[in-house]
Amino acid sequence: MYRYKKETTIRINPETKTKLDEFRQYKNESYDELVRKLIVVAKTCEKEPKLSQKTIQEIKEARERIKKKASSTQKKLRRF
């Protein structure tokens, strides 16, 4: 992954943390990965607004597929 010379700690509002947690695409996704992803999305929105709307929609659809798959897997595990 990435090599850091120095890591830092930031303070965020608990509500912001909750929203970041909801934005994760997978359980172990780090906050650094989330922030980097948000930066890319923000830059894309500035440069190519039409493309960014398509990208945002694709991200939403992918997140829904992941949630459905996770829900389906949990239901299967409950049977055992």
DSSP secondary structure string, 24-78? -SSTT--HHHHHHHHHHHHHHHHH-HHHHHHHHHHHHHHHHHHHHHHHHHHHHHH
Q: How far apart are CA 16 and CA 19, in angstroms?
A: 5
Per-residue pLDDT of the chain (80 residues; tens, 9 = 90+): 566 678 888 899 999 999 888 888 888 889 999 899 888 888 877 887 776 677 778 878 887 887 777 666 555 556 65
Tokens of 49: 């607004």
pTM above 0.75, yes or no: no
Tokens of 50: 């039409």
pLDDT for 15:
95
From 19, 22, 32, select the one nearest 66 (Cα to Cα).
Answer: 22
